[in-house]
Structure 1
Amino acid sequence: MASLAAQQTAAAIYYSVMGKDATSDAYDYFGQQLEGGSKTLDELTESLLASPEASARFASKSLEQIITQVYTSVHGAAPTASQLSELITGTTTTSSVIAKIVDGLLHYAGTDATTLAQQSAFETTINGSLYPATKSAATEGSADVQALYHSLGRTQVQEGINYWGEVLANGSKSFNEVANAFVNATAALKGLSNSDFVNFIFQNTYNRAATSSELDQYVNSLSNASSRGDVLVDVITSIRSNVAAGDTSAQTSFNAATKVYQQGTLPALNFQEQAASVYLAVPGRGIDAEALNHWSKELAAGKSFSSLNASLLKSGEFQKKGAQLTGDEFIQHVFSAVHGVAATAAQLATYASLSSKEAITSAIIQDLRNSTATDNATVSQQHAFEADIGASLLYNTSATLSATAGGGNATGTVNTGTSHTLSNAETAVLQSAVLNANSANAVNLKFADNLQNLTINGTSAATVSLSDNGVNQGVDITVNNGNVILNAGSGSDTVNVTSSANIASGTGKFNLGAGNDSLLWSGNAASGAANSVGSGISANGGEGVDTISANFITKNVAITGSLLRTATITSNASQFSNFEKIDLAGYIGKATVSGGTSTAANHTFDFGVLTGNASTESSTTVTTTNQAATSNIGSQGFVLSGLADAVKVINAAGGNAAQLEITGNATAASDLSIAFRQNATDHFNINFNAESTSDVNAGSLALSSSSSALMGTALATVNIASGGTGDFDNILALTGSNSQVRTLNISGDHALDLNLGSGFSNVRTIDASSNTGGLNLDTSHGGTGDGLIVQLLNALPLGAVTTGLLAPVLTALGLNGYQLKITGTGAADNFDIAANTSVTGGAGANNYELKSSTSSAGVTINDFDSAKDTIVDGLSGLKISNDASGSAVADYGTRSADVLDGILGTLLGGVVNSAAGLLGGILGLGSSNALTSKVGIASVAFDGTHSNSYVIIDNNNNGTLDRNDSVIYLTDQNHQSLLDSLHYAPEVSVNGVADTAVTDLAVA
């Protein structure tokens, strides 16, 4: 048999296509196809559409008409024009649209009330075919027929209930006559004496033997021409009447056994869960509709759990799938299926002492389901088995809940349509929940290992406890209640406290437990004011590396006195503990200063309030400053999870606190500045660690640092780790002014788009060799000298001598200084760079966009590969690459390095007025007509294949190498290879889109 999940889907598709209920044979057959993978949902729909019945049903109808008809039957309402358009736009087949409609509603897990109501109605319709019950014509007599089955100890058969119920309903036979038919057809009664018969009936009906008077009464009746059917009816009538106190339990069981179920309905969930648990424990599968319908009703009618196991263990399927095993093998089979792990020797021994297989099966299941163990292993096994039960019964994974009077599992109408306390299995499958904390009771959601999203509403101080056994990976929790007591789970939870939560006067407590958790709040500060956090609010991050929003931390400065003023700084930081990082996203707070003239600026967070180094943020002179108590909050620095609206941090510290983690897209509008205490740190780490499907932009970041003249510590190095989960680029702009930073190190496996502002004027090294994702770099400045002429001179055989001889000339021409040295990644990089920059691009296909590169201040590319790399020269607007559609570069010849050493003396004897003149002399291009092409290559050869080459672009088209011309230095090249491969063409941009081919711009 297929599982209930596959059967339900098959029945739903059948109904949507055929317009009627599927038979049990049909939905099981098609369900097995889906479950076994022989047909996809689309393929099953297509095959049903091809049937003669469906073909006739949809004959001569357009796609829009067919989809509208199916949608209406599934949703109970016709689609809107936009919904219909969305469904059929781009579709390839009618079957795929129908499959999408059915699957989308049947497995909807959202919270939209309209969709949920439509889903419930559709499930009710499908349940009519999954769980057939008494026919309407037989309803009137079915309870009597079920009573006969019960009192005779026979298993109820729906076909029999329908047949005999209809016989009784239409009056063709009396109740006594039908009872006689049942008695005569019951093999267990043959050969029984009258007294044994009476006791047999009483045992099944009253769960006891007949009393002496009862026995005498009915035996005498049988002796006086009454039939056994008459006696059976009398006994049934008697238990339906007022009974003695000792028989009320039997009467309750009788009433349950004779309850008439309407089509599509099932007994209470606890009976369904018991039946489902046995199927998971022995054959190891989800229960099917027929078994669920039959066995849950048997349990509801009074059949014991052990008896259910005994009945099922004898069945053919169970015998083939584990029930045939004996001894420890049988125990191990059941235990492993229930617990998910093998039994220990001690556990095997415990269960081996039981008397039967049904006792063993019952005990293993009930021991785990009823376990009160607290160790993580057992608790996780218990939760997992409950989740398996819930999943096999198709319990909803989303629910709207409320606190239960007296505490415990939450209350809701999910899965039943009526208010009830959720079972552990119902709780265990929850993935999304809305909890209305409507009373100050405990709400146990610890079984919800699969919970991903939770919203907490209300105003009551409910205590909400989540899964803490180490299984849940984390819950996104939205808190609209400022009084809730939240015991979060052991995963990495994110708690977002909204503006609906009254944090100013609330008493909420947030205990986040294990995991790397976040407690976020957008603040409640009015424009230009400070945040207000009630003294009753508290939070503990627990184990792990936890983050708290800066909005929770307040700062107050009270200035007292007249001539000798004292500033007392206080904070509410003691209300929060074990938060290693501070999230600056959305920070809107500021300090509150009283008793003096405040200079506190909006959106300014003073990290010094946590370290005993806070500023008074007042222009009033004070003699003594009393700092707030120190705190371990923020010991590992800052987080940026979203937009920082002109947020400023002052008095930032060093050590592990000198770092910023980017966990979300702050967007280009984000503006964050961090000012460090003097001598605080020699480095700052920026770590991108977001999970995203689109680019993550950290916006602009300014770093302000200073150091003392004597034994000072300068912030010299910024380390950027460009990581995260997903396929996207990380984006960052370093802005503001910082002359201390000299080195940028870039690592990680994601591409980084980095804009280095002009304020970082002293950066000398950008090293991205440890990054594997790629670098898109835009620098506003380069170095100060030691450019393409000096580098060539140093590369000559007598380089040291040469530069020494030419030192006065180089100094006079302003060519000394330092280079900005850039090392790219192994991936494709894009460098938008300024003059006096030396770049090693790395192994990828790189694009070099040069803001300016001339003979006096040029760009050096150390590993240019003419087969894949591209140069875009900003001064000329030309693109130089191996694209043969452009014009070939000219050959300006080569000079031997050895020969060049010998002729440099002549340059000293002449008058060199410019860097261009010096370079022209070196390359033999000093004459007025030396440049015979727009672009050419001149090289200095060091051996037969190795040369350093200059790409020269005659920007002013005067044929002379002068200060206006672009010069680009390429080291470690082959002169002829460059000539063979390089071509140039205008770099054209149309509507901001670069690299448009010239031919694409032609107009007819």
Structure 2
Amino acid sequence: MASLMYEKQIASIYYTLLRKSPTERELKALSDSLEKKGPAVLQNIISELMETPEAKLLYGNYQNNFEIMRAFFKIVHGREMGQAEFKLWYNDSTLDLNHNLFRIVNELVTNTAPWPKLNDDMSNTDYEFNYPEQRLIDKEHFLDNGNLTLYPGTSNIVPSGDGATDILGIFHVLGAGITRDVSEFWVPLINKGDKTLLQATEVFIKDRPYLNNVTNKTFVKKIFENTFERPATNTELNIYLELLATGSSRAEISINIMKLLRESTNESDATAKSHLAAASHVYERGELPPLEYQEKIAALYLIGAERNINSEALFGWSQKLASGISHDKIVSILTNTSEFNRISTHLDINSYAKRIYLTAYGHNADNSTLEKLISLGDKNKIISAVISSLIDSNTKSKSEYYEKFQFALRIAGSLNYKKDATLTNETGNSPESTINSGITHILSQAEKAQLERVILNLTTDNTVDLTMAANLRELVINGKQEAEITLANYKNYNSTIININGHIQGLKTGNADTLVMLNDSHDTLDTYFYFGSGNDFLGWRADEYGENKISPSLYADGGLGINSISANLISLFKDVFIRKGTHGIPDIETTTYISNIIRFSNFDLIDLYKYTGKVSTKTYIIQADGTIVRSSTVSDFTFDYDFVSNKYGAGGNPNDVGRKGFSIINVTNEQQSTTSDVISVINVTQGASKIYVGNHSNNPVTGDGGNYLFKFKNDVSVLEFFTNQKNGEDILKPLGSSPPEKFVNAGEFALIGETLKTVKINTSGESNNNNLIALDFTSSNVDKVIVSGVHKLGLVATHGSFGAREFTYDATESAGIDITITPELYTSMSKKITVLGSNQGNEFHLFRETKYYPQDKIIFIGGAGDDYFDINNIVTAMGGDGTDFFNIMSSSNKTSTLYDFNSHKDIIGLKSSGIYISGRESGEKIPFTDTVSGGNKVQDYGYIENLFNPNTPLNFHGKVGAVSTMDVTMTKETYIVVDLNDNKIFDTNDALIKISGQPDTAELASQLYY
């Protein structure tokens, strides 16, 4: 039996194509096929439905296939095509119509767009829709259509009127379960007068042996008890037995008893009367009994039948519960059906208890639990006890919580509950919503378990309990109310982003990484935050001028984990007192720090994203005569780490907030610059010389990184970067998303420190894209950068006239480095730069407009992977294994040097001239040039300088040649020469490339083409 989700999909497609519902037989067959074979069968289903007379009648008047596709798209997606979709579908409208209709549906069934360009780029802003988000909205509409089609019948003619009420009521009186086909057959006939309720009831009784093949006394007792929910008195029993004895039929007696209860005014009959009314309720199209009844039936099917609920069982049995039949009675009825008996009949009480517990909990029961279940002595009691233990919301341990959460999630999945919701907190048992039912109700545990994306609109101070929402990924809180919000203590999903637009009293989170952003740019109010054991973040947008006031009562505890707090939340005021000395006595300076940092605890890192704060300083100069000169200064966009280092005293930091360094994380995934100014961090100590850089520290679309200046104290010798930290976009992307294909600029960092010597960059964060960071060493003495980790790193390096003369980049333990050396490297002072790449592929870049100084030297060393090299006259390149590309940038009488060139795999390129040299047999063969004008042999040249002697010029036989001559060390070497100015003579405008280590120039020339 197919589950509800597949039935909804089939019902939605069926109705979209034929404007009617499938019969129950069709629904079962088609949905079973979809569940077993997957979405591919939908193409056959659509093709078969389009061949029906109804489809031909519906679509016969359309002008062309595209018009049919547009109409179909609108009903399935619930909207018109967007401009991009319109063009793409129009272009494809010449393809098979049925295949196109399948593609329109398949997009929602598989959550995959028909064209990759509309698929899963969360930051795509080229279209009128964010298609990954819009697809989720469209899918909800698609499934809602199925819901409307499935309930209450499988016909587009909804039974209504007195006939429907009476038919439903009489089935309640008879104690029978009504099916949709029965009501749809009899109700129209009764309403039109073609048949009577009496005739229908006679058929119903005749078809049921438990009513037809019993004595009159047994029959009356059963009917009366079904109706009035109590045994008939002797007087009542005798009245109906007398009627039967004098010619009344059992059908007449049944109808009379139903009417008697409907007309009763006795208080003792009130409950039974309400149950009859509920059983007689005619459900509108798409309407179902309340969710509490649906969940009970779904739970029974999950455990007793070991399957998800289907639409017929859901509607029929939840309707029975809603009509007043007890849960125990429903359990008794269901466990005696053939489907439930298939599981239980052959099992003794011991084996049954084991199986039911295992099915419900996913693991075997311990001996104590098993004994308690067996002691119940009844299979119905066992299944009821197991369900009750799982739906009880009280939990005493993490394992117990997850057991109950997983069961609630199974119920939610079986009922196809929605993952996105808008909630309110109108009542004390909040949250409330219309989700899943269409009417306002308090969310069940199963509904909460299914939630992933929530908008919570606060309208009162009532607390909001989301402790069962362990799958919650995104929460937006709107409103200004003194409400406390509690999230799941144990999370099933590892990260949650929370945006607070307004004010709340407090927030309590659990073990997930929780990223909270206060988006109100006004002054913060009194709020408390208690974070759990995840790596959490508390941020505040503030405003771009840093004028906001921070409430002195704002409090936050980061809990366990590596937690980060926005620097915007930390106030920085200091008073500096300078007492002027006299008679050679030096001045005495004391500083008093005034900060709210004591209000925070368990935050290891200070986050600088969108920092707009400032250091406000008041200076008091106390003159020798006692007079005081007052002044004040404000350092905008500046964070002074001395406030963090100041552990004791007024305004101190006893909780060690920020003692492990800094983070720069774009939790809101915003697409504008952090600030137009440079963010300065001063007085950084060695203990805090760690910077955790988010994957998008600034702008995920354009990649514009923020500008930061870090000034270190003289105890700092090592700075560590930890790149690829999680950001908002990383959390929002689905798990298992495509591997990174680009670098995202995470920031530019100017480093100032006299004793700073080493920078370490570890790329082992969990972000989805690779980081690109820029480091300016102009004002530091850094002489070594060490790169390690699992992500490739993009690095832009700037050096100036000062600092270390010899510099090493060591990326041998990394996943690869893509490094660019900026023009400022080359100065009048000699510098030597060595870059060691990894074995996973590297790129070594130079700026083309760089001014070259002959005293500078760069060595690029590749690895076992495929490497790319920019090469000029001061660069020496070693390719290593792999297929390497050497891009020659210089065209002068200075030499570019290549080591370990492999003619079978590597490529030499002069990209600006469109010339590529390799061992691939295409293009022109490179000649071995062994003569110059005058007939002299190459070996007569001596030094390489003779190549440039205008009296003995080297003649080209083609555009490119290979020569052998002595280098400056009197070693015979091989050179590639390229005639860039096409004058057939080698001169200073041409390219000269040294291929070191080649034993035979003629042999190399024979292997190369250009």
Q: TM-score range by the shorter chain?
A: 0.7 to 0.9
Matched to 2:557, the amino acid is N
Listed as ranges, the matches of 1:490-889 within 5 Å are: 490-499=511-520, 502=522, 504-526=523-545, 529-559=546-576, 567-594=591-618, 596-612=630-646, 628-642=652-666, 643-645=673-675, 646-655=678-687, 657-664=689-696, 666=698, 667-689=703-725, 691=730, 695-698=742-745, 700-707=747-754, 714-723=755-764, 728-735=769-776, 737-759=778-800, 762-780=805-823, 781=825, 820-832=858-870, 836-849=874-887, 860-871=897-908, 881-882=918-919, 885=923, 888=926
Matched to 1:768, the amino acid is A
Unaligned runs of at least 5 residues, structure 2: 112-131, 581-587, 620-629, 667-672, 731-738, 834-852, 932-938
Alpha-carbon distance, 1:952 to partner: 6.3
Matched to 1:733, the amino acid is A
Matched to 1:670, the amino acid is G
Matched to 2:231, the amino acid is A
Change (3 A) 1:577 1:820: farther
> Does the CA-based 8 Å contact 1:926-1:961 persist in structure 2?
no
> Does the CA-based 8 Å contact 1:540-1:576 persist in structure 2?
yes
Cα-to-partner distance string for 1:455-493 (whole Å, 9 max, x where unaligned)? 111111222122222422222222112224222232122
> Does the CA-based 8 Å contact 2:565-2:607 persist in structure 1?
yes
Q: Within 2, Cα distance between the matches of 1:377 and 1:947? A: 75
Alpha-carbon distance, 1:102 to partner: 4.5
SS in structure 2 of the partner of residue 272 of structure 1: helix
Query: Aligned residue for 2:365?
Result: 343
Query: Aligned residue for 2:65?
Result: 63
SS in structure 2 of the partner of residue 685 of structure 1: strand
SS in structure 1 of the partner of residue 778 of structure 2: coil
Matched to 1:522, the amino acid is R
Q: Within 1, Cα distance between the matches of 2:832 and 2:444? A: 76
Alpha-carbon distance, 1:739 to partner: 4.2
Matched, 1:122 2:161: no
Matched, 1:980 2:1002: no
Query: Aligned residue for 1:896?
Result: none
Alpha-carbon distance, 1:35 to partner: 0.7
Alpha-carbon distance, 1:402 to partner: 0.5
Q: Within 1, Cα distance between the matches of 2:578 and 2:811? A: 55
SS in structure 2 of the partner of residue 490 of structure 1: coil
Alpha-carbon distance, 1:115 to partner: 6.3
Deviates more, 1:125-134 or 1:698-707: 125-134
Q: Within 2, Cα distance between the matches of 1:755 and 1:64? A: 51
Change (3 A) 1:684 1:873: farther
Unaligned runs of at least 5 residues, structure 1: 615-624, 708-713, 789-813, 894-902, 904-916, 985-1004
SS in structure 2 of the partner of residue 407 of structure 1: coil
> Does the CA-based 8 Å contact 1:553-1:573 persist in structure 2?
yes
Q: Within 2, Cα distance between the matches of 1:171 and 1:874? A: 90
> Does the CA-based 8 Å contact 2:724-2:766 persist in structure 1?
no
Q: Within 2, Cα distance between the matches of 1:580 and 1:449? A: 26
> Does the CA-based 8 Å contact 2:686-2:716 persist in structure 1?
yes
Matched to 1:281, the amino acid is I
> Does the CA-based 8 Å contact 1:24-1:129 persist in structure 2?
no
> Does the CA-based 8 Å contact 1:685-1:718 persist in structure 2?
yes
Q: Within 2, Cα distance between the matches of 1:920 and 1:172? A: 113
> Does the CA-based 8 Å contact 1:582-1:638 persist in structure 2?
yes
Matched to 2:686, the amino acid is G
Q: Within 2, Cα distance between the matches of 1:111 and 1:699? A: 29
Q: Within 2, Cα distance between the matches of 1:876 and 1:78? A: 50
Matched, 1:417 2:438: yes
Q: Within 2, Cα distance between the matches of 1:213 and 1:349? A: 47
Matched to 1:519, the amino acid is L
Q: Within 1, Cα distance between the matches of 2:192 and 2:554? A: 70
SS in structure 2 of the partner of residue 438 of structure 1: coil
Listed as ranges, the matches of 1:294-309 within 5 Å are: 294-309=316-331
Q: Within 1, Cα distance between the matches of 2:558 and 2:349? A: 49
TM-score by length of structure 2 reads: 0.80
> Does the CA-based 8 Å contact 1:206-1:239 persist in structure 2?
yes
Change (3 A) 1:654 1:186: same
Matched to 1:826, the amino acid is A
SS in structure 2 of the partner of residue 417 of structure 1: coil
SS in structure 2 of the partner of residue 888 of structure 1: coil
Alpha-carbon distance, 1:717 to partner: 1.6
Change (3 A) 1:576 1:924: same
Change (3 A) 1:827 1:739: same
Q: Within 2, Cα distance between the matches of 1:357 and 1:380? A: 26
Cα-to-partner distance string for 1:342-386 (whole Å, 9 max, x where unaligned)? 222222222122222222222211211125223111211211111
Deviates more, 1:670-679 or 1:693-702: 693-702
Deviates more, 1:482-491 or 1:207-216: 207-216
Cα-to-partner distance string for 1:946-994 (whole Å, 9 max, x where unaligned)? 976555678999999999986655443334354334566xxxxxxxxxx
> Does the CA-based 8 Å contact 2:947-2:954 persist in structure 1?
no
Change (3 A) 1:228 1:775: closer
> Does the CA-based 8 Å contact 1:778-1:832 persist in structure 2?
no
> Does the CA-based 8 Å contact 1:132-1:264 persist in structure 2?
no
SS in structure 2 of the partner of residue 601 of structure 1: strand
Matched to 1:831, the amino acid is F
Listed as ranges, the matches of 1:915-930 within 5 Å are: 920=944, 929=952
CA RMSD, aligned part only? 4.3
Cα-to-partner distance string for 1:786-843 (whole Å, 9 max, x where unaligned)? 999xxxxxxxxxxxxxxxxxxxxxxxxx99x895444334333333466655443333
> Does the CA-based 8 Å contact 2:9-2:143 persist in structure 1?
no
Listed as ranges, the matches of 1:901-940 within 5 Å are: 920=944, 929=952, 931-933=954-956, 936-938=962-964
Matched to 1:248, the amino acid is A
Q: Within 2, Cα distance between the matches of 1:176 and 1:18? A: 35
Change (3 A) 1:274 1:134: farther
Change (3 A) 1:141 1:414: same
Change (3 A) 1:613 1:78: closer
SS in structure 2 of the partner of residue 480 of structure 1: strand
Listed as ranges, the matches of 1:184-199 within 5 Å are: 187-188=209-210, 198-199=220-221
SS in structure 2 of the partner of residue 737 of structure 1: strand
Matched to 1:63, the amino acid is N
Q: Within 2, Cα distance between the matches of 1:211 and 1:655? A: 88
Q: Within 2, Cα distance between the matches of 1:83 and 1:874? A: 39
SS in structure 1 of the partner of residue 308 of structure 2: coil
Change (3 A) 1:55 1:147: closer
Query: Aligned residue for 1:997?
Result: none
Cα-to-partner distance string for 1:206-228 (whole Å, 9 max, x where unaligned)? 22223455456656766777666
Query: Aligned residue for 1:352?
Result: 374
> Does the CA-based 8 Å contact 2:875-2:897 persist in structure 1?
yes
Matched to 2:811, the amino acid is A
Deviates more, 1:148-157 or 1:260-269: 148-157
> Does the CA-based 8 Å contact 2:517-2:538 persist in structure 1?
yes
